Structure 1
Amino acid sequence: MQSAFGSKPVLATPVDPIRSEIPRLHDAEIAAIFYGQRMGGDFYEFLRVNPSRVLFGLLDVAGRRDQNREILSAAQQTFRALGHKLFADEDINEAEAMIELCHELNRSVLQAAGGVRSCPAFSGCYNESVGTICYTNAGHTPALLRDLSGVVMLTATGLPLGLFSHTTCDAPTVALSTGAALLLVSRGVVESRRNGEDFGLERLKKHLQHTTASSAKELGLSVLDSVQQFMCTPPTHDDVTALTLVRAVSAKVASA
């Protein structure tokens, strides 16, 4: 396991996206864990855009790795360039910025693919000052948010990227109380199979509810370990990725 996304460019050799550095957070941790070697289109990205905000994303481009590297690289370039531009100032409308980022990522995927290429994507902006996440879920596996009240799903707010040139999405905001955890996994996790049965979202929710893992990295590792135990074999069938964000129990809650 390892921890850590114009017109279509003409490249002599496929170019992989640049490895993303995981940022340090105040009163929280964020991590990404994946199993083995990349085969498909899973791609995660982190980006600190100002002193109090960090962008993160998990994309899953349809196709094998050798078919989608250029698309992943184009999406990463858009994520980084536009992320810095849209979120540089402290006084911004996060929802409007996230929606614009989603639209531009969609455009980048279509242009780099030279046509239709399905790309489910979850993107979020974590605001350290108030402990909130403003997000878009473009047809991706639902993220799971656990706090003292239980586990809730952050379901799709729009269609997958790369399908239509004109698409809409929403960007809701959720609060992370002290000790809360966000878990985002790729399709390869929930579609892991044994004897014709999927690992599934319900099993993932139960794992998140009952795991004793306390750090972001430990939580991601525990998910992949649970998948391997379920399959009774290493999960090499597809890309298997977990992105986690855990707010510290000692985090200060912003006053109104």
Structure 2
Amino acid sequence: MKGLLVFGRSGQVATELSRLAPEARFIGRDAADLSDASCLAGLIASEQPTAIINAAAHTAVDRAESEPELAHAINAEAPFVMARAAAKLSVPFLHISTDYVFDGSGERPWAETDPTGPLGVYGASKLAGERGVAHAGGQWAVLRTSWVFSAHGANFVKTMMRLGAEREELRVVADQHGGPTPAAAIASACLEMVAAMHADPAKGGIYHFAGAPDTSWAGFAREIIDQVGIPCRISEIATSDYPTPARRPGNSRLDCRAITRDFGIERPDWRTGLTKVLTELRK
């Protein structure tokens, strides 16, 4: 899309967006410090974009517990300023969010209308960002996703490959469930949504998008090890056996029917996406 402005440049989704939309303008940390949102409105006004995607975030879930002010600045204050600037230009704004806005209870997939209840600083900061975007006015959309993976940056796939090659056994959490999501599929969904929003000013709101079928981290790890062909055994453990500074939601399943209904975007098969990622990593 001509005139597309993307915040984020080196992250997993931003990297995939740059492949699908090389003509877009990508804003990295060197051009905009998202911890200081005061610079964003002027930057956006000077760029005069036709649409904006925010693919940048403070995603260090555990570290956020010890730096809540920074997480809030990047995940809440910056998106609000972006959305307000987009509203002033009357252009669509799309913000990427997370399953961590929910408390992870139960087993039913979370719908967009379900009550939120983040368990930690990261989820709370992302939820505040969603609310800021919604209150900024204009045409906006929030895309909640989960368990993102790609051939870029640090992620679960690359960690399992590295550790699996070093060890005979990996102990992986089996009581957290969700949908692993290829970053490439998220990038594609973002571009489809923005194009549709540009064509129809009535489109927008909160949507869920995650890979299918739902699985556990142990199930995800087992598929990675099987596809790579590493002789490593995956042993299932409970969340309580792997304590972390930030609590993780046990149920990260997302009901993705709304994005299919409104935009025609189907859930991607993460196993197919994994095959493509592993092929790229081998190269």
TM-score (norm 1): 0.31
Structure with the higher fraction of residues in strand conformation: 1
TM-score (norm 2): 0.29
Structure with the higher fraction of residues in helix conformation: 2
Find the structure with the greater CA-based Rg: 2
